[in-house]
Amino acid sequence: MTRRAREFRPFAPRARSTIIAIVVTFALILAASAAVSIWSTAKSRNRAAVVEIAGRQRTLAERYVTQLLLVRGGEQASPQRTGVLLTQSVNALLNGGTAPAVEGDDDDVMLERETDPRIRAEIVEQQKLIRDLLANGNAFLTRRTGKLPETAGERITTTDPLQRLRVLSALTSNVSLSAAREIAARTDRNVKQTITLQVALGAVGILVSVLLAWALVATTRRQTAHFRSLVSSSTDLVLVLAGDSCRYASTAVERLTGQTQSQLTGKGILRVIHEEDVERFQAAQRSGDVKELVFRMRNAAGEWRHLEAHLTDLRADRHVRGVVLNSRDITERVRLEQELTRQAQRDNFGSQLVEALEMADEEAAAFDVVRRAMVEIGEHTPMELLLSDSSRAHLDQTAVHPLAGAPSCPVESPYSCVAVRRGHAVVFETSEALNACPKLRDREHGPCSAVCVPISFMGRSLGVLHATGPDGVAPSKEQVAQLTTLATQAGARIGTVRAFEKTQLQAQTDGLTGLINRRTLETELRALLRDNRPFALALADLDHFKRLNDTHGHEEGDRSLRLFSHVLRQVLRDDDLVARWGGEEFLIALPDADAQAAVEVMDRIRAHLARTLDGGQVRFTASFGVSDSTAAASLQELIQLADIGLYLSKAAGRDRTSVGVWTDVREALGAGNGAKRAPAFHRAAAEDEPNDS
């Protein structure tokens, strides 16, 4: 079987066995003294009663202390009765009379008045000691504190109530013994042998008592050492505050602050308390009503640590007389709570940003969301959003902080920005640093700090989000995280909008000329018809386009188509509509215009085309056919009328404008008769060049 480990109980009382040994020792000594007294009394009957009464005072004193301990321990005892016996007996020894009986000891004894001055002096001293013993015993039972008067000049230095009782009991016993000696010596010289024996017994008792007392002191010191070791090794920070000063700072406080006890006591503790917390700290120590307090204390490394303190008001305790602060370091918990709060704020900011950008169907709406998000990130922080143009070679300023303005970064292209090249946010604490971005230097407002966050969509760079701040003050982690979130979400939305717009543009426009396609224009024209809005319609065709292609090649033909579409956009109004109708044909719609106005516009187009081709390009002309919404009820008929006008222009020699009317095409050309309408396909009707318009 393994031996059970001894339990470590540093605060358990360990002096019980020592006290029992002392009591037993005194009991043995008293028993021996009683035997010798009986033997001496047998020889000196005339003074035996006096010696007996004087000797029993020692027993009563020890019994009194023992009974006090029993009562304090919850046992049944009557120390008050023992105290009365002590008082009556000493009075009987001094002044004569009846010495009271002691239960289990003897009966009432009549004594004569003592006349010897030396013995009387000792009895008087014994009387004072008994008075002090009873007073201390009453205080011990009622748990009163404070030092009581010493009428016998004892000069007891210990403050422990129990130890004082034991000392007074021992003094009373010694004085009683001395009185008995004197009585015995004066009464009968035969008692000399008895006295010698009693002295020997007393010496042994004193020696044993001293040894036991030393053991008691050693036990107390061991307990004190245990307590001191536990307190010194504890990580809790303990302060004792009295008034407006610090009376005590534990070893843990010294280790944390790197200062000594003398530096922390008095007003010194305030030097390591954060200035924002000093007022609350002092208010708590003055009132004593505050039970918990959180404050910051500077450690030896100059860092501010968050402490959570529990306050106990012990100003009424005479051993403390102050407010005790028991604190522990909660810095990591505070940092975690702050990080969780910041994360929640970032998540809330991110979710709101995503929802706002989802409602932005156009780039302008997305830019407006970005501007509002800039204000949330930093109300007084200059910011700007720089996005690449269609060539991806230049950066344009698309969004600026509405309150703080723009940093006006001079970067010209996406890959001129270090953040874009690195692919992540870059923070510069000062533009004067050796490794700072060169484009931050020599700015109008002087040195600054900055953060640049690249914006991309599906791995392709779109631009950069740029923000600046005071020189030497780097943006907080929270701001960098929010700027990164803004750049990520804005890039995703702007990229999506651009991709959608590109898809829509590709579906609605002609890839060669950039004009809207036939289907898109038909949709717009039907809308004009539904709204009963008048408009003119013109069908244009490049003259001899097949010959141009055959002579100069298809690349020159494509260039001519693009040039003609460019001329159309330059002459037409913003709300006019023009589409590539097919091949070298173009259809033009002029809202709020009639056929006559359309003829004038087409003539201006022909003139502008001629001026444009004076630069040495391959020359070509265009023919036009015109109609308006008053000439027919359906879109198909209007287009047919314009086609008839174009047919007439081709037949009349090209490079001209004609208005289409419902008449026989052959009759109009003088080639036949009949009232049949033209078929609206002028290319097949051209007689001089059936394969070239």
What is the spatial distance between Cα 633 and Cα 128, in angstroms, rounded to a whole number? Answer: 139
Question: In terms of domains, do 140 and 117 share one?
Answer: yes
What is the spatial distance between Cα 421 and Cα 62, in angstroms, rounded to a whole number? Answer: 95
What is Dmax (Cα atoms) for the chain? 187
Averaged pLDDT, 570-577: 92
pLDDT at 266: 84
Q: Is the CA virtual torsion 693, 655, 626, 565 positive or negative?
A: positive
* Residue 8 domain flag: no
Q: Tell me phi and psi for residue 94, to 5 degrees.
A: -80, -45
Question: In terms of domains, do 286 and 140 share one?
Answer: no
* Residue 542 domain flag: yes
What is the spatial distance between Cα 347 and Cα 215, in angstroms, rounded to a whole number? Answer: 68
Question: In terms of domains, do 303 and 188 share one?
Answer: no
DSSP 689: -
pTM score, whole prediction: 0.39
Share of the chain above pLDDT 90, in %: 20
- Name 341's bridge partners: none
CB atoms near residue 270 (< 10 Å): 15
The answer to whether residues 297 and 273 touch, using CB atoms and an 8 Å cutoff, is: yes
pLDDT at 234: 61
Q: Which residue has the higher pLDDT, 116 or 372?
A: 372
pLDDT tens-digit series, residues 40-70: 655 555 466 777 777 777 788 888 888 888 8
What is the spatial distance between Cα 515 and Cα 566, in angstroms, rounded to a whole number? Answer: 9
What is the spatial distance between Cα 304 and Cα 297, in angstroms, rounded to a whole number? Answer: 5
Question: In terms of domains, do 29 and 134 share one?
Answer: yes
* Residue 188 domain flag: yes
- Name 238's bridge partners: 326
Question: In terms of domains, do 173 and 94 share one?
Answer: yes
* Residue 503 domain flag: no
Question: In terms of domains, do 245 and 299 share one?
Answer: yes
**What's the Cα-to-Cα distance from 553 to each of 437, 546, 556, rounded to whole Å?**
51, 10, 6
* Residue 294 domain flag: yes
> What is the average pLDDT value for the chain, to the nearest integer?
80
Question: In terms of domains, do 474 and 607 share one?
Answer: no
672 pLDDT band, cuts 50/70/90, is very low
Q: Which residue has the higher pLDDT, 16 or 350?
A: 350
DSSP 146: S
CB atoms near residue 92 (< 10 Å): 23
Residues near 192 by beta carbon (within 8 Å), at least 6 away in sequence = 185
Helix, strand, coil percentages in the chain from 3-state DSSP, rounded to 5: 55, 15, 30
What is the spatial distance between Cα 186 and Cα 195, in angstroms, rounded to a whole number? Answer: 12
Answer with the one of 469, 498, 527 that is the final residue of a domain: 498
Q: How is the beta sheet containing 237-242 ordered, strand by strand?
A: 245-249, 237-242, 322-329, 304-314, 292-298
Q: Which residue has the higher pLDDT, 159 or 370?
A: 370
The CATH number linked to 34 is: 1.20.120
The CATH number linked to 440 is: 3.30.450.40
DSSP 416: G
What is the spatial distance between Cα 182 and Cα 120, in angstroms, rounded to a whole number? Answer: 10
Share of the chain above pLDDT 70, in %: 83
* Residue 4 domain flag: no
Q: Provide the residue range defining the domain that includes 305.
A: 237-329
H-assigned helices in 509-629: 518-530, 545-552, 554-571, 595-612
pLDDT tens-digit series, residues 340-369: 877 787 778 888 888 888 888 888 888 899
- Nearest Cα neighbor of 250 from 238, 233, 263, 268 is 238
Rounded to the nearest 10 degrees, how much is the dihedral formed by the CA atoms of 353, 355, 361, 365? -40
Burial 531-551 (b: 16+ CB within 10 A, else e): eeeebbbbbbbbbbbeebbee
pLDDT at 568: 93
Q: Tell me phi and psi for residue 651, to 5 degrees.
A: -70, -25
- Nearest Cα neighbor of 122 from 182, 187, 56, 33 is 182
The answer to whether residues 401 and 377 touch, using CB atoms and an 8 Å cutoff, is: no
Half-sphere exposure of 624 (CA within 13 A, CB side): 25
How many domains, the chain? 4
pLDDT tens-digit series, residues 454-502: 998 877 888 899 899 898 888 888 888 889 999 998 888 888 887 776 6
What is the spatial distance between Cα 330 and Cα 130, in angstroms, rounded to a whole number? Answer: 57
Question: In terms of domains, do 345 and 477 share one?
Answer: yes
Q: Which residue has the higher pLDDT, 650 or 176?
A: 650
Averaged pLDDT, 284-306: 84
Rounded to the nearest 10 degrees, how much is the dihedral formed by the CA atoms of 592, 595, 600, 603? 120
pLDDT tops 60 at residue 8: no
pLDDT tops 60 at residue 670: no
* Residue 3 domain flag: no
Residue with tokens 């008087």: 124
The answer to whether residues 32 and 249 touch, using CB atoms and an 8 Å cutoff, is: no
Answer with the one of 220, 255, 272 that is the final residue of a domain: 220
- Name 461's bridge partners: 456
- Nearest Cα neighbor of 253 from 291, 288, 300 is 300
Question: In terms of domains, do 197 and 134 share one?
Answer: yes
The answer to whether residues 80 and 60 touch, using CB atoms and an 8 Å cutoff, is: no
676 pLDDT band, cuts 50/70/90, is very low
Burial 627-659 (b: 16+ CB within 10 A, else e): bbbebbeeeeebbbbbbbbbbbbbbeebbbbbb
Question: In terms of domains, do 482 and 534 share one?
Answer: no
686 pLDDT band, cuts 50/70/90, is very low
* Residue 572 domain flag: yes
- Name 450's bridge partners: 428, 468
pLDDT tops 90 at residue 606: yes
The CATH number linked to 663 is: 3.30.70.270
332 burial class (0-12, 13-18, 19+ CB within 10 angstroms)?
exposed
Question: In terms of domains, do 286 and 352 share one?
Answer: no
Radius of gyration of the chain (CA): 58
Question: In terms of domains, do 580 and 467 share one?
Answer: no
Answer with the one of 470, 498, 526 that is the final residue of a domain: 498
